[in-house]
Amino acid sequence: MHLSDSNQSVFVAGHRGLVGSGVVRALRAAGYERLILRTRDELDLTDGAAVRAFYEQEKPDFVVVAAAKVGGILANDTLPADFLHTNLEIQSNVIHGAFEAGVKRLVFLGSTCIYPKLAPQPLKEEYLLTGPLEPTNQWYAIAKIAGVKLCEALRRQHGVDFVSMMPTNMYGPGDNFDLQSSHVLPALIRKFHEAKSSGDPVTLWGTGTPKREFMYVDDLAASIVHVLQTPEDALFEAAPDGLINAGVGHDLSIAELAETIKRVVGADNSIEYDTDKPDGTPRKLVDVTRLFALGWRPDVDLEEGIRRTYDWYLEQLG
Ligand code: GFB
Determine if the peptide bond prior to 122 is cis (ω within 30°): yes
Catalytic residue numbers read 140
In this structure, what are the phi and psi dihedrals at residue 66, rounded to the nearest 5 degrees?
-105, 5
In this structure, is residue 148 part of a structural domain? yes
Atom of ligand 1 nearest to the CA of 281: 38
What is residue 103's predicted lDDT score, i.e. its pLDDT? 98
In this structure, is residue 272 part of a structural domain? no
Atom of ligand 1 nearest to the CA of 210: 12
Atom of ligand 1 nearest to the CA of 206: 14
Q: Which residues of the chain have pLDDT under 50?
A: none
What is residue 84's predicted lDDT score, i.e. its pLDDT? 98
In this structure, is residue 245 part of a structural domain? yes
Report the alpha-carbon distance of residue 16 to residue 21 in Å, rounded.
5
Residue at 253: amino acid letter: S
Query: CA nearest 205: which of 76, 112, 302?
Result: 76
In this structure, is residue 44 part of a structural domain? yes
In this structure, is residue 187 part of a structural domain? no
In this structure, is residue 149 part of a structural domain? yes
Name the domain count of the chain: 1
Tens of pLDDT, residue by residue over 237-291, are 999 999 999 999 999 999 999 999 999 999 999 999 999 999 999 999 999 999 9
Question: Which residue range(s) make up the domain with 228?
Answer: 10-174+213-250+284-300
Q: Kindly tell me the burial class for residue 235, based on how many C-beta atoms sit within 10 Å of its own C-beta (0-12, 13-18, 19 or more).
A: buried
In this structure, is residue 305 part of a structural domain? no
What is residue 148's predicted lDDT score, i.e. its pLDDT? 98
Domain containing 68 — which CATH number?
A: 3.40.50.720
Residue at 202: amino acid letter: V
CA of 286 to the centre of ligand 1 (A): 16
CA of 199 to the centre of ligand 1 (A): 24
CA of 71 to the centre of ligand 1 (A): 9
What is residue 136's predicted lDDT score, i.e. its pLDDT? 94
What is residue 163's predicted lDDT score, i.e. its pLDDT? 98
Q: Which residues pair with 245 in a beta bridge?
A: 166
Report the alpha-carbon distance of residue 201 to residue 203 in Å, rounded.
6
What is residue 270's predicted lDDT score, i.e. its pLDDT? 97
In this structure, is residue 90 part of a structural domain? yes
Report residues whose beta carbon is within 6 angstroms of any ligand 1 atom.
72-73, 76, 111, 113, 136-137, 140, 169, 182-184, 187, 204-206, 210, 212, 254, 277-280
Contacts of residue 60, defined as CB under 8 A and 6 or more positions apart, other chains included, come to 9, 10, 11, 36, 98, 101, 103
What is residue 90's predicted lDDT score, i.e. its pLDDT? 98
